[in-house]
């Protein structure tokens, strides 16, 4: 009996989702027409979105108001559109280094400003008033850091409200008494959908409003919207959706906003293979959030069964950027088989506009329960220490003239240079640069070290790992974003 009941419910959900399927496909396919091209990388600042906000202020379709200021004195702006009774409130980037949804918000605003999708937009704007508060933590964005200038996590300040950013979020939520809230974040790219190699490209949570994790109508509606959005993402990123643990966090905004009566949907943008600047994920945000807004306007989410929510796989954190499996490693006269898990760690340049890599071995040993964005089966390969190029070079011009593929094939991962430009923080070459006095330690694989070594089979070096990036020396082109400088 229970089974029949469930299958009727899921049929119900399917037909609801089917109705919106068409519009979703169109939104995805026409995305480039609305993408806000002035903000195309993750390190965006308040000054980057100011011209966009100015443009919206001068546009009668939108109502723009300054609703607060950050500790550093930067404006917090609320942009509203629509005349409907149901209020939908979206806020992004309360953590300064989580910008993906901020970009998607400006894409969505471009969509609303366009003359296309007239029928759908009419349905949305007659039934809903949609409010956007992009970049809630502009001081954190300036420094590309999670916390605000007080050094606190705004998402643990929902009760004490010490930060002006937190006070603004609470005040706006209360003044709108929003029916739906979208709490927009980024998560680590190392999250995966539990027990799969798939990254959690998007993770969801309908936050609990009490320790008992009860489900009332407010939270249930958030779950329904999540089921709806998950179904959309399965089409464009199959298996790449995770569900956050719903333990109650009394200090967090999502949990409290749910408690205050706004159906709250937490969206976390994670990782996607070969999408360093998360622009594909931004597109998935755009498509799924806009579709969700449409389904809220149509009230078609109401028929969705919340039991589907529990079926979304849990988030896990089992990904490496590079996983090397079964390499042979010689230590004190014996040979061992070892897996290596490598993170390609981003380090900001002082202006926080761009970054370089300083990679690390994160773990080693039996990593068979982990996954990699890139995995190399190194069975039969022996790990070899990278050597220093035999000739000392004078300057970067001489380094530039090297044939790097040849250099790497001979097992040289380091080049000694007598005059290293002071302005260079990292090596612009696919090899590391050493100052005249720097001595390379004997390779001793351990978590925390910079992963630089070669993989040799039958006396031939076939792969280099330079600063955590795998270089296949059998291929024509080699690429390493940057080496390191050891002064
Ligand atoms: Zn966050």
**What tens-digit pLDDT sequence spans the chain (487 residues)?**
334 333 334 444 444 455 567 899 999 999 999 999 999 999 999 999 999 999 999 999 999 999 999 999 999 999 999 999 999 999 999 999 999 999 999 999 999 999 999 999 999 999 999 999 999 999 999 999 999 999 999 999 999 999 999 999 999 999 999 999 999 999 999 999 999 999 999 999 999 999 999 999 999 999 999 999 999 999 999 999 999 999 999 999 999 999 999 999 999 999 999 999 999 999 999 999 999 999 999 999 999 999 999 999 999 999 999 999 999 999 999 999 999 999 999 999 999 999 999 999 999 999 999 999 999 999 999 999 999 999 999 999 999 999 999 999 999 999 999 999 999 999 999 999 999 999 999 999 999 999 999 999 999 999 999 999 999 999 999 999 999 999 9
Cα of 4 to ligand 1 centre, how many Å? 40
Q: Report the relative pairing of strands 86-92 and 180-186 from DSSP bridges.
A: parallel
Cα of 96 to ligand 1 centre, how many Å? 8
The two tokens of residue 33 are 């027409």
- Angle, helices 217-236 vs 2-29, to 10°: value is 60
What pLDDT, on a 0 to 100 scale, did the predictor assign at position 20? 65
Q: How far apart are CA 281 and CA 267, in angstroms?
A: 11
Cα of 5 to ligand 1 centre, how many Å? 38
Cα of 98 to ligand 1 centre, how many Å? 6
Cα of 188 to ligand 1 centre, how many Å? 9
Cα of 186 to ligand 1 centre, how many Å? 5
Query: Which CA distances in Å does 480 have to 12, 193, 279, 458, 483?
Result: 50, 28, 21, 25, 7
Q: Are 295 and 301 contacting, i.e. CB atoms less than 8 angstroms apart? A: yes
Q: How many residues does the chain have?
A: 487
pLDDT, tens digit, 9 for 90 and up, residues 307-326: 999 999 999 999 999 999 99
Cα of 115 to ligand 1 centre, how many Å? 33
Nearest to 230 by CA among 208, 206, 213: 206
Nearest to 12 by CA among 357, 348, 304, 385: 304
- How many other CB atoms sit within 10 Å of the CB of residue 390? 9
Cα of 176 to ligand 1 centre, how many Å? 23
How far apart are the two ends of the chain, measured CA to CA in Å?
Answer: 72
Cα of 249 to ligand 1 centre, how many Å? 14
Q: How far apart are CA 381 and CA 325, in angstroms?
A: 10
What pLDDT, on a 0 to 100 scale, did the predictor assign at position 487? 94
What pLDDT, on a 0 to 100 scale, did the predictor assign at position 21? 75
Query: Which CA distances in Å does 447 have to 339, 343, 358, 364?
Result: 12, 10, 14, 7
Question: Whole-prediction pTM value?
Answer: 0.94
Cα of 241 to ligand 1 centre, how many Å? 17
The two tokens of residue 326 are 């079964």
Q: Are 230 and 291 contacting, i.e. CB atoms less than 8 angstroms apart? A: no
């Amino acid at each position: 009996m229970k089974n029949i009941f469930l299958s009727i419910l899921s049929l119900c959900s399917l037909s609801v989702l089917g109705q919106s399927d068409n519009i979703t496909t169109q939104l995805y396919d026409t995305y480039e027409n609305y993408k806000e091209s002035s903000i195309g990388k993750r390190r965006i600042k308040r000054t980057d979105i100011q011209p966009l906000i100015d443009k919206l202020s001068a546009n009668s379709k939108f109502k723009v108001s300054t609703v607060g200021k950050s500790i550093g004195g930067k404006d917090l702006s609320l942009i509203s559109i629509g005349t409907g009774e149901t209020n939908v409130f979206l806020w992004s980037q309360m953590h300064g280094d989580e910008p993906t949804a901020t970009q998607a918000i400006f894409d969505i605003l471009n969509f609303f400003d366009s003359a296309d999708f007239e029928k759908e937009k009419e349905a949305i704007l007659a039934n809903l008033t949609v409010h956007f508060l992009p970049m809630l933590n502009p001081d954190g964005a300036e420094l590309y850091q999670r916390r605000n200038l007080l050094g606190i996590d705004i998402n643990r300040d929902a009760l004490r409200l010490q930060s002006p950013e937190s006070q603004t979020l609470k005040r706006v939520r209360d003044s709108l008494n929003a029916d739906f809230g979208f709490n927009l974040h980024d998560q680590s790219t190392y999250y995966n959908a539990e027990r799969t190699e798939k990254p959690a490209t998007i993770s969801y949570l309908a936050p609990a409003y009490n320790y008992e994790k009860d489900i009332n109508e407010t939270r249930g509606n958030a779950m329904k919207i999540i089921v709806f959005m998950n179904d959309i993402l399965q089409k464009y990123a199959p298996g790449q959706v995770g569900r956050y643990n719903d333990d109650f966090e009394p200090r967090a905004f999502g949990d409290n906003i749910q408690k205050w009566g706004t159906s709250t949907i937490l969206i976390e943008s994670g990782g996607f293979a070969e999408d360093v600047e998360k622009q594909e994920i931004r597109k998935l945000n755009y498509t799924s959030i806009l579709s969700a807004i449409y389904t809220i306007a149509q009230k078609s989410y109401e028929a969705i069964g919340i039991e589907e929510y529990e079926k979304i796989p849990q988030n896990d954190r089992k990904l490496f950027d590079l996983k090397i499996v079964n390499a042979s490693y010689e230590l004190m006269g014996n040979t061992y088989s070892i897996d290596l898990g490598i993170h390609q760690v981003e380090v900001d340049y002082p202006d926080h506009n761009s970054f370089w890599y300083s990679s690390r071995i994160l773990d080693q040993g039996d990593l068979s329960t982990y996954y990699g964005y890139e995995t190399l089966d190194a069975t039969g390969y022996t790990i070899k220490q990278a050597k220093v190029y035999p000739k000392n070079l004078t300057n970067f011009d001489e380094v530039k003239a090297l044939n790097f593929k040849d250099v790497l094939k001979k097992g040289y991962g380091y080049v000694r240079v007598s005059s290293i430009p002071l302005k260079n923080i990292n090596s612009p070459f696919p090899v590391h640069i050493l100052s005249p006095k720097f001595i390379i330690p004997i390779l001793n694989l351990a978590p925390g070290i910079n992963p630089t070594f070669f993989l040799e089979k039958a006396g031939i070096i076939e792969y280099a790992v330079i600063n955590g990036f795998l270089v296949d020396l059998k291929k024509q082109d080699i690429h390493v974003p940057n080496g390191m400088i050891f002064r």
